[in-house]
Amino acid sequence: MRRTRALQAALTATALSATLVAFGSGAAHASPQHAAKPMPARVAAPYFEAWTGESPAALAAESGNKYLTLAFLQTPAAGSCTADWNGDATQPISRSTFGADIATLQARGGNAIPSFGGYSADTTGTELADSCTDVDAIAGVYEKLVTTYGISRIDLDIEADSLADTAGIDRRNQAIAKAERWADRTGHPLQFSYTLPTTTKGLETNGLAVLQNAVAHHARVDVVNIMTFDYYDGATHDMAADTRTAADGLHAQLATLYPHKSSRELWGMVGVTEMPGIDDYGPEETFTTQNAVDVERWAAARGIDTLSFWALQRDNGDCVGTGGANACSGIAQDPWYFSHTFARFARFAGLGR
């Protein structure tokens, strides 16, 4: 994710607890607490700001979410091959860190989606594949997440400088393909999602290039999750309408990348992440409660894969008029309004709504 929230994360992460990831393709992998289950065809999975010291399982229970996207993993310094939560090297990926929370989500029928990158990592050379030049080590980190936590999707939030790091893009997609082969060989369900910035008409050229490189390396991308906010184009936006046009543009771009897929299959690769309330740009980009209703209905009708938003801790109306806050939406709303609205998307999966 971008700008204000990520910059705040960079300042906060060093003082708050997170989780360290051990790396290396030869590393011994811990046994998962729960065997990984495949992701459902529709999932509502808001981002959880992992640097705050809060319990993801507790907030999931309060908000009614079954799935959470945990943000972010990055290396402690450029050049490292060790990925830590928010670059904090004090807590490794292990069942002692986030393990109980993830196990609780799984016991409730959900799961966590670990997310790499974000604006802070992507602008400091600490996104894992930008930082680490060893493809085997990058793949080993992905594999360790699966075996430690029993997760079945990994998210890669690639934006800002990371979109221009062609070597990092190349390594990342090689590592995805390698981890996918490992997962197939060992019987672990594993998906990868790319979270990318978008215009109101679809991906920019640099975002599309990430996916073109994935195709070239035979890296299966299961979900392309567009961030339908922070357009920074000086316009006043109908955020729901612009979500639809951005997704239409993405669908057309995916059709060129995957010409053998049906339109329905292509929509099934689409993910959308909103920013409830006033985003980082300001009031001109305000995602309203009615926008949430409209987007949820559209997403269900289109049959997209994922609905998400940045971030769970913002899903309240405690700071009306404030844009880009980490802990509130900046608009008048009931607590957990956006969680409850997007939960319908997953709840009615397969029921023909």
Identify the band that residue 35 occupies on the pLDDT scale cut at 50, 70 and 90. Answer: low
CATH class, domain 3-347, is alpha beta
Which run of H or of E encompasses 76?
none
- pLDDT reported for residue 349: 60
Q: How far apart are CA 75 and CA 86, in angstroms?
A: 8
Identify the band that residue 64 occupies on the pLDDT scale cut at 50, 70 and 90: very high
Q: Is 14 exposed, middle or buried (0-12, 13-18, 19+ CB in 10 A)?
A: middle
Amino acid, single-letter form, for residue 11: L
Q: What is the pTM of this model?
A: 0.91
Give me the pLDDT at residue 85, please. 87
Tell me how far CA of residue 314 lies from CA of 7, 49, 134, 309, in angstroms.
Answer: 16, 10, 37, 9
CB atoms within 10 A of CB 61: 14
Regarding beta strands 67-74 and 47-49, do their DSSP bridges make them parallel or antiparallel, or are they unpaired?
parallel
- The DSSP line for 232-276 is -SS----HHHHHHHHHHHHHHHHHHH-TTS-HHHHHTTEEEEE--
- Of the candidates 82, 83, 81, which has an alpha carbon nearest to the alpha carbon of residue 73? 83
Average pLDDT for the chain: 90
| pLDDT beyond 70 at 9 | no
Per-residue pLDDT at 193 exceeds 50: yes
Q: Is the pLDDT of residue 3 over 50?
A: no
